[in-house]
Structure 1
Amino acid sequence: MPLVVYNLDSAIQSFFAEAGASSSRFQCDEFVCQRYGGRIQPATIQGINSYTAIVGPAADKVVQFREKSSLLDTAMLKLAKDGDVVPSGRDLGWIGDTSLGYPALAVYEMEKLPGETFVMKRMSLEAQQRFNAVRDLAGFFAQAWLKGKAAVSHLIDLPAIKEECHARFKYLTDKLPESFLPVVGEVQDVLPALIDGNYPLILTHSDLNEMNILVNLDTGEITGVIDWADASILPFGFTLYALENVLGCMNSGGWKWFDNAEELRDAFWKDFVHKTGVSESEMRLIELAAKAGILIRCGTPYDARFPGMIGTRDPSTEEYRYLDALL
């Protein structure tokens, strides 16, 4: 499989071409210049459904232009904001003249968190820096577990969550190659326990990948978790694939674990258990929830009706390579 090289300008051009919006990149940049002044710097990694720029004389703000189909829920963002690793944000309205039938773009302002995306730093991290990243990731998940459903009780729609999860696993049962069905069955057997209302249901990032985690360039410590579009309420553990992304990476030759991956994994779980005090039975459910998240992310197609369970955007790609590696 050939190695795909990311190109920033192409990514930005693709967004405006595919969005078919009434505003061009020039008009978006002009909006930013008039409002903030200073230099406009496109974010190093762009999202599929947005154009993001770092702005202001001090380069301390981020302005994001998003398609109507991928709006940020600022109430969810406020809920996610806890500590220093989630940016605060606000809605700035819309840009674009829709009189010709082209859609406008929603505009959001967020504080710029320090650090660089993990995907840009991953291969150059030293041993201690990796441990720092894993420790902070354990803290991020421990905080989510401890807050649990109490923090989001007013947002929990248990029947809808059950319907969503069962629909995804029906798809997996019908579509995945036979070799994956034993693990699908294993998760299906425990799925009722994950959505019985007693297991923690948490605010879940829809795409907790290595592009949405920021790290300190010198220490490897996590400085931010960004892009909370489509966050939703799901059982704890559905985004633990984030740990796997810290322990290895996919390249043209397939998945490669880092040399000290098992040592890092042990450090993660030791720190998580220390912070949460989870029991052995709870750990078993967490492990299966993690498998559920990997199956959904790497084995089902993307569907905008299922926020928080992003799936695979292009079913023609070799997405099953991730299932082979991570399961």
Structure 2
Amino acid sequence: MDVSGYAAKPEAYDSLSAYQIAEFCNEHGLARDEIDHFAANLLGSPVSATPVQGATSYTVCGDKAGRVVQFRRSQLPMRKIEVARQIYEDFVPECKSQGMFGPVHVYVANLVPGPAFCRVRSQFFSPAPTMEQRLQQTVQDFARFFASAWINKPAHTLEPPPGLLGEYSKILDEVSPDLPAQLQAKLDDVRQELPRLFRSSYPMVLQHDDLLENNFHVDETTGHITGIVDWADAKIAPFGVSLANMEVVLGIQTRTNWYFHPNHHSLRKLFWKTFYRVTGYISKDDRRSIEVARLFGLFREHGREEKEHAIAYLSALCLL
């Protein structure tokens, strides 16, 4: 089954970006040409808007500089971004504060080459064999990215926010009621095993908490991930919670369902094979903890949506 048609086309992101830029300028009372002029002076070259924008920022790239300027509603957590660069290395672009421009915060970052995955996902999910080879590369790089957090633990222990276990339990309590029996059993298992994620021996790591298809870029000729952006919402959490986002390279979410790549089972095996090759030995107990964290992430992400949507998404993602 060809599922590529379920992916949004680049034109949809063009329209969304134009809307977001206009909203950002209106919200902060700024003229777009004045912002662009300020950015051009910072980079020493003309600038243009990047193809994918954010809901609370405006980003432009220099024509020659190999850098971007981002104007943001709120400050970035620079210390967390430094930690992210230590953990995930070249996956995270360098970023520096440039003060303020009127009411908004200004940052200069390295340009991440290649399109955001959202703009090429329909190509990568097409039936052509060459496209599946590129998607396989993306899957392997995604696995290496997640494995980086296991092998590059900071020298000092990262402390989670106080009460995080209670917060996670509350999230599971808020999952849509009256789930089908299989899903309810899976939810109960995750609830019962949550404390294993807070064992002193299990790592707390800094994780990207919004790792959607618009926040990582790829080389569209090879499938290699060239960088992961938008670390504004990075969080310290038990390792594996953000693994819920691995699904964005295995399938496509629509308003009502989740459509997997026809070969998602083999792609999933490739992901885990690559992950465990990079991490090296991980005990059976920790492997179970990783799975509990991943399932919790899925229930957190999709379990509190409207009942019929929650059941559709969770059935597809948790009952593989």
TM-score of the aligned structures, taking structure 2 as reference length: 0.84
Which residue of structure 2 lines up, in the alignment, with residue 200 of structure 1?
Answer: 203
- Give secondary structure in 2 for the equivalent of 1:137: helix
Higher RCO, Cα 8 Å, sep 6+: 2
Query: Of the candidates 52, 55, 66, which is equivalent to residue 60 of structure 1?
Result: 66
Residue pair 1:23, 1:105 contacting (<8 A) in 2 also: no
Residue pair 1:23, 1:95 contacting (<8 A) in 2 also: no
What is the rounded CA distance, in whole Å, between the counterparts of 1:130 and 1:186 in structure 2? 32
Query: Of the candidates 262, 268, 275, which is equivalent to residue 265 of structure 1?
Result: 268
Query: Of the candidates 23, 30, 43, which is equivalent to residue 14 of structure 1?
Result: 23
1:302-327 CA distance string (max 9 Å, x none): xxxxxxxxxx7xx7995664333322
Residue pair 1:161, 1:195 contacting (<8 A) in 2 also: no
Q: Which amino acid aligns with 2:92?
A: V
Matched, 1:76 2:80: yes
Which residue of structure 1 lines up, in the alignment, with residue 133 of structure 2?
Answer: 128
- 1:318–1:42: structure 2 CA closer, same or farther, 3 Å change rule? farther
1:171 deviates by: 2.8
1:225 deviates by: 1.0
- Give secondary structure in 2 for the equivalent of 1:81: helix
What is the rounded CA distance, in whole Å, between the counterparts of 1:260 and 1:227 in structure 2? 29
What is the rounded CA distance, in whole Å, between the counterparts of 1:250 and 1:59 in structure 2? 36
Query: Of the candidates 42, 62, 87, which is equivalent to residue 49 of structure 2?
Result: 42
1:190 deviates by: 0.8
Which residue of structure 2 lines up, in the alignment, with residue 93 of structure 1?
Answer: 99
1:162 deviates by: 2.5
Q: Count the aligned residue pairs.
A: 297
Q: Which amino acid aligns with 1:140?
A: F
Matched, 1:142 2:147: yes
Which residue of structure 1 lines up, in the alignment, with residue 128 of structure 2?
Answer: none
Which residue of structure 1 lines up, in the alignment, with residue 127 of structure 2?
Answer: none
Q: Which amino acid aligns with 2:136?
A: F
Which residue of structure 2 lines up, in the alignment, with residue 325 of structure 1?
Answer: 316
Residue pair 1:176, 1:299 contacting (<8 A) in 2 also: no
Which residue of structure 2 lines up, in the alignment, with residue 178 of structure 1?
Answer: 179
- 1:176–1:41: structure 2 CA closer, same or farther, 3 Å change rule? farther
- Give secondary structure in 1 for the equivalent of 2:60: strand
- 1:218–1:200: structure 2 CA closer, same or farther, 3 Å change rule? same
Which residue of structure 2 lines up, in the alignment, with residue 100 of structure 1?
Answer: none
Q: Which amino acid aligns with 1:135?
A: Q
What is the rounded CA distance, in whole Å, between the counterparts of 1:203 and 1:220 in structure 2? 25
1:54 deviates by: 1.0
What is the rounded CA distance, in whole Å, between the counterparts of 2:309 and 2:80 in structure 1? 33
Q: Which amino acid aligns with 1:178?
A: L
Q: Which amino acid aligns with 1:92?
A: Q
- Give secondary structure in 1 for the equivalent of 2:90: coil
TM-score of the aligned structures, taking structure 1 as reference length: 0.82
Residue pair 2:113, 2:226 contacting (<8 A) in 1 also: yes
Which residue of structure 2 lines up, in the alignment, with residue 159 of structure 1?
Answer: 162
1:266 deviates by: 0.6
- Which residues of structure 1 form unaligned runs of 5+? 97-103, 301-311
- 1:183–1:271: structure 2 CA closer, same or farther, 3 Å change rule? same
What is the rounded CA distance, in whole Å, between the counterparts of 1:136 and 1:162 in structure 2? 30
1:121 deviates by: 1.7
Residue pair 1:240, 1:290 contacting (<8 A) in 2 also: yes
What is the rounded CA distance, in whole Å, between the counterparts of 1:120 and 1:228 in structure 2? 20
What is the rounded CA distance, in whole Å, between the counterparts of 1:231 and 1:107 in structure 2? 19
Q: How does 1:206-225 map to 2 (within 5 A)?
A: 206-225=209-228
What is the rounded CA distance, in whole Å, between the counterparts of 1:236 and 1:176 in structure 2? 27
1:28 deviates by: 1.7
- 1:318–1:29: structure 2 CA closer, same or farther, 3 Å change rule? farther
1:163 deviates by: 3.8
Residue pair 1:65, 1:108 contacting (<8 A) in 2 also: yes
1:227 deviates by: 0.7
1:177 deviates by: 4.3
What is the rounded CA distance, in whole Å, between the counterparts of 1:21 and 1:169 in structure 2? 37
Residue pair 2:47, 2:60 contacting (<8 A) in 1 also: yes
What is the rounded CA distance, in whole Å, between the counterparts of 1:91 and 1:284 in structure 2? 40
Residue pair 2:44, 2:65 contacting (<8 A) in 1 also: no
Residue pair 2:139, 2:267 contacting (<8 A) in 1 also: yes
Which residue of structure 2 lines up, in the alignment, with residue 307 of structure 1?
Answer: none
1:63 deviates by: 1.0
1:161 deviates by: 2.8
1:281-313 CA distance string (max 9 Å, x none): 32222112111111112234xxxxxxxxxxx7x
1:229 deviates by: 0.4
Which residue of structure 1 lines up, in the alignment, with residue 116 of structure 2?
Answer: 117
1:176 deviates by: 4.2
Task: Report the aligned-residue RMSD.
Answer: 2.5
